[in-house]
Amino acid sequence: MIASMLLMALIYACGTGSAGGQEQQIENEMMAAHDRIMPKMGELNDLYKEMRQYLFLDTTMTMETRERLSMVTVNLKESEEEMMNWMNGISDLAQKKTTMKSEELIKYLTEQKNEINRIGDFTDKSITEAKTALAQRKK
């Protein structure tokens, strides 16, 4: 009887640890994505300012070019706003860890990891587009 109870406790503990390990792994991946993107926010802001100045000062560009470059500028700003919104949304993670069931937490963390990866891709794309536009201007 005691051996049976010990075996059940061991099985339960392993199962719980596995879910906890999965939660931690997903959270680590999510935070690694955040940590990859966060240092780019300064560059993103600098590019945004430079693009705005370019749009304001260059009176010779065509309307089509102005619209395209305006969209690049908007994407830079949206990328920053999405990052800030994501960070504000994830700020209650410690509370969620104590109130959510393991399956719910895994689902939540996976969704947040996917979202921060999407934001990272959007940030990279926005930076590349702005750099390309500014490099063409200087030619």
pTM, rounded to two decimals? 0.81
pLDDT at site 16: 45
- The answer to whether residue 123 is domain-embedded is yes
pLDDT per residue over 32-65, tens digit each?
A: 999 999 999 999 999 999 999 999 999 899 999 9
Check if the beta carbon of residue 50 is closer than 8 Å to that of residue 134. yes
How far are the Cα atoms of 87, 93, 102, 127, 136 from residue 48, in angstroms, in the given order?
Answer: 20, 30, 41, 9, 16
The residue range of the domain holding 60 is 20-137
Q: Give exposure, 21-48, as e/b (b: 16+ Cβ within 10 Å).
A: eebeebbeebbebbeebeebeeebeebb
Alpha helix positions (H), 2-62: 2-37, 40-57
**Residue 19 confidence (pLDDT) above 70:** no
Q: Which residue has the higher pLDDT, 101 or 7?
A: 101
Helices (H) then strands (E): counts for the chain: 5, 0
Check if the beta carbon of residue 90 is closer than 8 Å to that of residue 8. no
- The answer to whether residue 77 is domain-embedded is yes
Our count of domains for the chain comes to 1
9 pLDDT band, cuts 50/70/90, is very low
Most distant CA pair in the chain, distance? 87
